[in-house]
């Protein structure tokens, strides 16, 4: 709990008792003396609990927790305190379990407001979840569909757009609210791989990643499914700084990374380590019948991590059994485990569709993982962890209808369950169709009421979903659906769901982020950008409004007058 200078403990009615409770806690932690530093400013003071889960959530989950208060009593219950101000508390407790009495009085969950001293309320434990934004405002800036958008590493408002057929274009993105559309001259491609790519359901150009030192070395990477009938070599690495007509074969075919797999996937560079991460599906349509996702010797159903900067010799590649021109980072989790392929970073995925690192907290690496029949999930990916598929689909046990080889027992894994997710019936309770699209933590100030929220959605675009972490950095998430509208001054007109002000997005293929941290929805009906909430008559009290605009609130929304400065 946060408090001002340590000795004040202003919400506690008896400062002596407060400090006594604090002293008892100190005996249980050899490092807690740091809490007694005599300095001003906001401080973190421990409370007698060790979970942010509410009592109701603990009961519903069936998981039992030993609370911190009980641990403190077991360790410190025999500590003598001279002239203790706890003596009045003990007077009516003869013959009772003192530890239980203490913890009933002085502990609780971090969501429990009943914790008190001498029966007076103590709200220090209360976590205040920030209110949801009123809705998501979108502006439509282009009518064509794309699968990938990646910002240009040079920093300005430039980005690469790619379709599933294998064509990539470089375009300038107009400023939000400029009333300009996204102009892409599709006759001038930056890179055209369409002759090499297998285009089918779940196949095509899947990912683009620019090397962190692209401005110096000109290296970028493309992930796609090869059509070996057209091009038996079907691999290559591109290295050039031109805006159009980049030649993917100019460095020769042996510079590519081409494992014999059924699916390609997203690729991206880690913001802190500079290594290349590859997201691979399990290679099957249903059931993962060969149990590839749990197979330690298969790269399918995994997230991989490789070093493309340190190029090994041909002999090293052959000796280590690598798939191409890369090396293995020394701190990969299985680099010294002969049972695992050394490229593996995490296992147990069905189809990791769209992952991202939080730009403010790079340790937050979130991936959407599309389920099969029951559940769609967002996972927080960590080194060496198992995310359950095909033993679990989300939090539920999975029972495959076909299983040819390689069953894995439930007891042999320690699965990491999703931080967010939903059942298929939440999207379509008739057909059960659903396919999660992983997203981004919103870090733009275009809509300050969305800041820090995790935006994600579903292929079928029925809802805009927001992940809320409370408290911040707790890794405890909840989700909510919010409405969306089309900006009244959108550069391109939106179509709408029949009888609703909600824009009809069609299918949502991906979310994307530009250099300004603005978020885009790449859909079958076009490219949409998250816009300022006032452009959709949503109220966000933190929004900065143009100095020449005054906003007057009326019964039916906003009225705009160009006369003075006004900030909501």
In what order do the strands lie in the sheet containing 136-142? 484-486, 136-142, 526-530, 519-523, 508-513
Task: State how far the Cα of 481 lies from the Cα of 422, in Å rounded to an integer.
Answer: 11
Burial of residue 44, with CB atoms counted within 10 A of its CB: 0-12 exposed, 13-18 middle, 19 or more buried: exposed
Task: State how far the Cα of 122 lies from the Cα of 115, in Å rounded to an integer.
Answer: 6
- Give phi and psi for 124, each to the nearest 5: -65, -25
Category of 118 on φ-ψ map: left (φ > 0), alpha (ψ -120 to 50) or beta: left
Other CB atoms closer than 10 Å to residue 338's CB: what's the count? 8
For the four alpha carbons of 560, 561, 565 and 568, in that order, the dihedral sign comes to negative
Distance between alpha carbon 558 and the CA centroid of its chain, in Å?
A: 34
Query: Residue with structure tokens 């075919």?
Result: 253
259 within 8 A of 240, measured Cβ to Cβ: no
Chain mean pLDDT for the chain? 78
Segments of the chain assigned to CATH 2.120.10.30: 136-536
pLDDT of 123 = 44
For the four alpha carbons of 256, 262, 264 and 265, in that order, the dihedral sign comes to negative
pLDDT of 548 = 47
331 within 8 A of 409, measured Cβ to Cβ: no
For the four alpha carbons of 314, 333, 513 and 387, in that order, the dihedral sign comes to positive
Question: Which SS3 state, helix, strand or coil, does residue 180 take?
Answer: coil
Quick one: DSSP state of residue 324? Answer: B
Task: State how far the Cα of 26 lies from the Cα of 56, in Å rounded to an integer.
Answer: 29
pTM tops 0.85 = no
Task: State how far the Cα of 468 lies from the Cα of 40, in Å rounded to an integer.
Answer: 31
Distance between alpha carbon 553 and the CA centroid of its chain, in Å?
A: 35
Q: Which of 157, 146, 153, 154 lies closest to 189 in space, CA to CA? A: 146
Secondary structure percentages of the chain, helix, strand, coil, to 5: 15, 25, 60
Question: What residues have CB less than 8 Å from 551, skipping those under 6 apart?
Answer: 534, 545, 558, 559, 560, 561, 566, 568
pLDDT of 86 = 56
Q: What is the CATH number of domain 136-536?
A: 2.120.10.30
Question: Which SS3 state, helix, strand or coil, does residue 369 take?
Answer: strand
Quick one: DSSP state of residue 436? Answer: E
First and final C-alpha spacing in the chain:
31
524 within 8 A of 507, measured Cβ to Cβ: yes
Q: What is the 3-state secondary structure (H, E, C) of 51-86?
A: CCCCHHHHHHHCCCCCCHHHHHHHHHCCCCCCCCCC
Category of 15 on φ-ψ map: left (φ > 0), alpha (ψ -120 to 50) or beta: alpha
> Which residue stretches of the chain have pLDDT < 50?
1-47, 49-65, 109-127, 236-242, 248-262, 548-568
pLDDT of 68 = 64
């Amino acid at each position: 709990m946060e408090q001002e200078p340590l000795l004040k403990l202003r919400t506690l009615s008896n400062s002596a008792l407060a400090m006594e409770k604090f002293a008892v806690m100190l005996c249980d932690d050899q490092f807690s003396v740091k809490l007694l530093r005599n300095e001003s400013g906001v401080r973190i003071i421990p409370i007698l609990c060790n979970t942010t889960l509410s009592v109701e959530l603990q009961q519903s989950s069936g998981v039992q927790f030993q609370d911190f208060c009980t641990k403190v009593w077991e360790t410190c219950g025999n500590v003598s305190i001279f002239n203790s101000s706890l003596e009045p508390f003990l007077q009516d407790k003869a013959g009772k379990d003192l530890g239980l009495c203490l913890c009933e009085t002085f502990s609780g969950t971090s969501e429990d407001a009943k914790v008190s001293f001498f029966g007076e309320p103590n709200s220090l434990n209360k976590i205040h979840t920030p209110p949801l934004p009123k809705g998501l405002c979108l502006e439509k800036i282009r009518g064509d569909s794309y699968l990938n958008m990646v910002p240009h590493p040079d920093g300005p408002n430039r980005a690469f757009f790619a379709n599933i057929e294998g064509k990539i274009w470089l375009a300038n993105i107009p400023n939000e609210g400029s009333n300009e559309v996204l102009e892409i001259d599709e006759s001038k491609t930056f890179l055209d791989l369409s002759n090499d790519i297998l285009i089918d359901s779940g196949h095509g150009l899947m990912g683009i990643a620019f090397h962190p030192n692209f401005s110096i070395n000109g290296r970028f990477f493309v992930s796609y499914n090869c059509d070996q009938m057209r091009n038996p070599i079907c691999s290559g690495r591109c290295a050039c700084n031109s805006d159009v007509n980049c030649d993917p074969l100019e460095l020769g075919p042996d510079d590519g990374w081409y494992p014999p797999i059924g699916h390609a996937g997203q690729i991206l560079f880690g913001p802190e380590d500079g290594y290349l991460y590859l997201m691979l599906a399990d290679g099957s349509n249903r059931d993962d019948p060969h149990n590839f996702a749990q197979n330690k010797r298969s790269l399918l159903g995994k997230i991989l991590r490789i070093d493309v900067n340190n190029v090994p010799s041909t002999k090293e590649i052959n000796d280590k059994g690598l798939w191409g021109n890369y090396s293995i980072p020394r701190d990969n989790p299985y680099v010294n485990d002969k049972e695992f392929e050394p490229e593996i970073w995490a296992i147990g995925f069905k189809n990791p569709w769209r992952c991202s690192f939080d730009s403010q907290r790079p340790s937050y690496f979130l991936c959407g993982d599309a389920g099969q029949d029951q559940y769609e999930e967002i996972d927080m990916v960590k080194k060496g962890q198992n995310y359950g598929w095909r033993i679990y689909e989300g939090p539920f046990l999975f029972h495959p209808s076909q299983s040819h080889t390689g069953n894995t027992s439930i007891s042999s894994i320690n699965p990491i369950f999703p931080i967010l997710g939903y059942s298929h019936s939440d999207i379509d309770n008739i057909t059960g169709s659903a396919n999660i699209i992983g997203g981004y933590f919103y870090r733009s100030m275009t809509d300050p009421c969305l800041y820090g929220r995790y935006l994600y959605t579903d292929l079928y675009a029925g809802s805009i979903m927001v992940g809320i972490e409370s408290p911040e950095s707790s890794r405890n998430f909840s989700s909510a659906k919010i409405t969306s509208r089309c900006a009244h001054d959108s550069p391109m007109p939106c179509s709408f769901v029949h009888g609703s002000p909600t824009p009809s997005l069609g299918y949502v293929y991906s979310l994307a982020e530009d250099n300004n941290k603005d978020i885009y929805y790449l859909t079958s009906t076009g490219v949409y950008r998250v816009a300022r909430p006032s452009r959709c008559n949503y109220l966000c009290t933190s929004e900065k409004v143009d100095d020449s605009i005054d906003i007057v609130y009326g019964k039916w929304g906003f009225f705009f007058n160009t006369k003075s400065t006004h900030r909501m």
